Structure 1
Amino acid sequence: MADPPFGFSAGDDPERDKRDKDPRSGPGDPFGLGFGGAEFDMSQLGQIFTRLGEMFSGAGTVLAGGTASGPVNYDLARKLATSQVGFVAPIGENTKSAINDAVRLAETWLDGATALPAGTVRAEAWTPTDWVNNTLDTWKRLCDPVAQQVSTVWVSALPDEAKSMAGPLVAVMTQMGGMAFGSQLGEALGKLSQEVLTSTDIGLPLGPKGVAALLPGAIEELSKGLEQPRSEVLTFLAAREAAHHRLFGHVPWLASQLLNAVESFARGMKVDMSGLEELAQKFNPAMLADPSQLEQLLNQGAFEPQVTPEQTAALERLETLLALIEGWVQTVVGDALGDRIPGTAALSEMLRRRRATGGPAEQTFATLVGLQLRPRKMREAADLWQRLTQAVGADARDRVWQHPDLLPSAEDLDQPAAFIDRVIAGDTSDLDSAIEKAIADLEKDPDSDDSGQ
């Protein structure tokens, strides 16, 4: 399991233990605000709403008139991310032209290495701010399921009398939760935007369909530590970006299956309510005298994520699919560039290690979604695709992407010979079984009966 998302805590918290020993934080003061076990004093309402007003006034400065909706305040996330990036000089025309030329050259070379046609409609050079703006819609889809659960689960755990006492403050606290999540998302995306190299750098189609986007600032920084010339690094990354778009553009089920798998994993997360239930029994609206305590609560282990067996299986399927995508891209790019750019193999190995060791992209994704987006079997997948290419050729290799049931399984990555033998023999039993199952499901569907009789 990856780092828990949105400030979950799965281990001991020394700071929390220290707070537990604070004499101001007695058994009746679970939030450490110094109210002890005393009854809530209605005269404190003025102070509470004054502090709330100050908080929302400060947030309004960042939001600049934006509105919050859903479990995450994405207006806040966007503005925090872009403010963290700060001023970025516009990308020069020469750089834009170089990126466009690199993508066009890569597409030409890829034509000889794969049967899948070009999937890019245009090439763009992005600043970190462009990356934030062009990928935020996809991040919404990835983050909403787990954030929705976290933002509502604490309310459902409150006893009825506590809900009644909280009254309208529940809605305010829910909004505060959206702001807390938006703040964390904004900080993470702001950091990540300055380190990603392309729109498909983490293996998911984050940007607009058909747009091959490269980030020249991050590529420049990467090139400083490499032996290969910057032009070769740029062409290599352009080829990887273009290869990803060939898959996502011409394998119609691939992008949706990837994103659905991440969504399902996040939505299926179970939360250990034991810590929260203890806090809920001692709920006191006076905690709102210091609204920042809500964000501290989210960071201090009140929620404990639990991985279910279904999630474990889903994670293995997702990791296998990511490995197959990355392995295919590595194989195709290697075939297309290998004789033209001598450093292709070294650059591929550098990126593989970057992914395998959990670079900034993987760490950020794990923090936000609770999922370790790491294709652990990428080397095995690349080896399978290479061996399959040698055995049946690029056209037959790429026909495997026609249906998800034709793809290699996790077991096939461990023992590729049997899978290659099946492809050589033209075995489509998996696809036939899927078609038969679909037909059987339709026949069982009462809506498919002839209603005209």
Structure 2
Amino acid sequence: MADDDRGDDDFQELLRRLLGGAGDLDPDQLSQLSGMGIDPAMLNTVMQHLQSTMAAAGDDGIPWDAAKRQALHIANQDGLGVTQGQRTDLDAAFNLARLWLGEATTISELGTTPGPITRGTWVEKTLPVWQELAAPVATSISDAITRTLEEQTPEDMRQLIQGAGRIMRTVGGTLIATQLGRVVGDLSKEVVSGGDVGIPLMPDGEAGILPQNFADFGEGLEIPDDQLALYIATRELAHARLFRHSKWLRLHVISQVTDFARGIHIDTDALEDLGSRIDPSQPDEIRRIVESGELLPPRTEAQNAALARLENLLATIEGWVDVVTEDATSRLPSADRIAEAVRRRRAVGGPAERALGSLVGLELRPRRMREAAAMWRAVTEAVGVAARDGLWDYPDLMPDSSDIDDPSALVARLQARARGEADPTDEMDDALARLLAGEDPAAPDGAEDAGSDDEGDDPRPV
């Protein structure tokens, strides 16, 4: 065999070994690379890094530990913990909030003791949910990278990249995991409490306030800290109580978010363009492009519909929390001002939350929160606290978007139920009742069946 042919075979074998993740190169192979004009030390370092990343990745090819390390690094940069004074003040706020909520809702107390938490603790407690939300996007990017590699590789080189699939998946997964870690770390500097983002991030039945961020929230409001702490503690407890009471609600929210995320796909053309113009030595540029949402194409109609359902659900939850918090904190002189500040903050969001929206294509904004709060206020005034809170007992009792648009039908149903009457029915209910009774569901109420037993009306020939 000619030396050139042997050299090509050796190089192809090296590529197969590298792309297949076969481990470190032995000295003989390293000397071959040197003869080819390739820096063997640099290449071996790259491969070691890739293989350690692959080892840390889970079955989905996403190294979530990297996201956690990145998020904790950002969250713990200031090195500040919770002071004894902060703990004392927030414990007092939570204790009074618990008593006030007992007058505003029939939903029971938490089984755990709420209190102040650090930014790092918030990251550790909430990261599992963030991973669940980001996983579909990470998988989509990994699939797009692998597909693009396969499509653009010449036919005679296809065999060389057969072992590269897992590496490419790991590259895509690492890209998202790293950016997610950065975004969650930044978000830990913005959120004031566990339920601040509006979705159930904290473990079931847990609640907490981040003292460092609480101090930033109160800056410039000219409201006493004890009133702010009491209001935020009341709102946080109401949110946590609701999700603990309605065990199905947590899964309902997360399922709707992930259903939306699973519809996300990566714009392959944008990915190719990214590869052609990016400078690998500028990681901040990679981060900017990924967080800008440039890789995500416009939402489909199905995704818009899913997003509308999710927004209605989040608004229904936030509206209830608003009304319960308003009633519980009615003794606070500055309650109205604090409530408006919280609503403005929820409506706008911070930089990290906006970056999260670009990263996963989802903005967690309860756009109809005021309308949902008005619905819950109408229900409370019409049937009282117990009947209102009973709507959270089962999924099929929960108000829907039509109830937010016009609460009158919901109020009428609840008032009829309170009087011991059957719920008002509509045409669909009536048709279903006729069908179950063996009657023609299309026939109007009181109509005779066409096949009457009256012999005088028998249309058959004698």
Change (3 A) 1:43 1:195: farther
Residue ranges of structure 2 left out of the alignment (5+ in a row): 1-32, 418-422, 437-462
Task: Report the CA distance shift for 1:163/1:385 in structure 2 as closer, same or farther (over 3 A).
Answer: farther
Structure 1 segment 351-362 matched on structure 2, within 5 A: 351-360=342-351, 362=353
The amino acid across from 2:130 in the alignment is W
- Once the two structures are TM-superposed, the CA of residue 351 in structure 1 deviates from its matched residue by 1.1
1:411 is displaced (CA, Å) by 2.6
> Which of 64, 78, 86 is the matching residue for 1:74?
64
Counterpart of 2:300 in structure 1 is 308
Change (3 A) 1:413 1:428: same
- What's the RMSD between the two structures over aligned residues? 3.6
Q: How big is the shift at 1:349?
A: 1.1
Partner of 2:247: 252
Could you report, residue by residue, the CA deviation over 1:216-262 in whole angstroms, capped at 9, with x for unpaired residues? 00001111221210011111111011001111000111001000111
Q: CA deviation at 1:296?
A: 7.7
- Give, in whole Å, the separation in 2 of the partners of 1:418 and 1:169: 59
TM-score, normalization by structure 2? 0.74
Relative to structure 1, the CA distance from residue 389 to residue 48 in structure 2 (aligned partners, 3 Å threshold; closer, same or farther) is: farther
Q: Cα distance, 1:332 vs. partner?
A: 0.4
Give the superposition deviation at 1:337.
0.9
Is contact 1:51–1:289 with CA below 8 Å preserved after alignment? no
Q: Structure 1 residues 220, 275: CA separation in 2 closer, same or farther (over 3 Å shift)?
A: closer
Indicate which of 398, 406, 415 corresponds to 1:407. Answer: 398
Any conservation in 2 of the 1:355–1:362 contact (CA below 8 Å)?
Answer: no
Pairing 1:202–2:197 present: yes
Q: Distance in 2 between matches of 1:293 and 1:104?
A: 45
Deviation of the 1:132 alpha carbon: 1.1
Identify which of structures 1 and 2 has the higher relative contact order when contacts are C-alpha pairs closer than 8 Å and 6+ apart.
1
Counterpart CA distance in 2 for 1:239 and 1:296 is: 37
With 293-302 and 212-221 compared, the bigger mean Cα shift is at: 293-302
One-letter code aligned to 2:415: I
Q: 1:228 aligns with which of 216, 223, 232?
A: 223
What SS does the corresponding residue of 1:205 show, helix, strand or coil? coil
Give 1:74's aligned amino acid.
W
Distance 1:386 1:313, change over 3 A: same
Instruction: Name which of 339, 347, 351 aligns with 2:338.
Output: 347
Q: 1:76-108 CA deviation, whole Å, 9 max, x = no partner?
A: 212222222313222122322322221121111
The correspondence for 2:130, drawn from 139, 143, 147, is 139
TM-score w.r.t. the length of structure 1 is 0.75
CA distance change for structure 1 residues 333 and 361 in 2, over 3 Å: closer, same or farther? farther
Corresponding residue for residue 80 of structure 2: 89
Q: Is residue 124–residue 211 contact of structure 1 (8 Å, CA) maintained in 2?
A: no
Aligned match of 2:110 = 119
> Partner of 2:186 in structure 1?
191
Give the Cα–Cα distance (whole angstroms) in 1 for the partners of residues 92 and 306 of structure 2.
40
The equivalent of 2:415 in structure 1 is: 424
Q: 1:203 to 1:296 in 2, by over 3 A?
A: closer
Distance 1:101 1:56 in 2: 52
Q: Could you tell me how far apart the structure 2 residues matched to 1:266 and 1:52 are? A: 37
Deviation of 1:359 after TM superposition, in Å, equals 2.9
Distance 1:196 1:386 in 2: 27
Aligned length: 386
Counterpart-to-counterpart distance in 1, 2:288 and 2:165 = 15
2:210 aligned with 1:219: no
- Tell me the distance in 2 between the aligned counterparts of 1:375 and 1:326: 7
Question: Kindly, what percent of the aligned residue pairs are identical?
Answer: 35
Match of 1:128 in 2: 119
User: 2 CA distance for matches of 1:253 and 1:361?
Assistant: 29
Residue 331 of structure 1 corresponds to: 323
Specify every segment of 5 or more residues in structure 1 that has no aligned partner in the other structure, as ranges.
1-40, 441-453
Whole-Å separation in 2 of the counterparts to 1:129 and 1:174? 29
Rounded Cα–Cα distance in structure 1 between residues aligned with 2:283 and 2:48: 11
Give per-residue Cα distances to partners, 1:56-84, cap 9 Å, x unaligned.
65998xx9x99232343222212222222
Shift of 1:54: 4.7
- Check whether the contact 2:63–2:177 (CA below 8 A) recurs between aligned residues: yes
Deviation, 1:424, is 1.7
Equivalent-residue separation in structure 1 for 2:273 and 2:228 (angstroms) = 55
Change in Cα spacing, 1:56 to 1:186, as seen in structure 2 (3 Å) is farther
Whole-Å separation in 2 of the counterparts to 1:166 and 1:204: 41
8 Å contact kept, 1:107–1:242:
yes
Quickly say closer, same or farther: Cα 1:355–1:386, change in 2 above 3 A.
Answer: same
Contact 2:145 2:168 survives alignment (8 Å): no
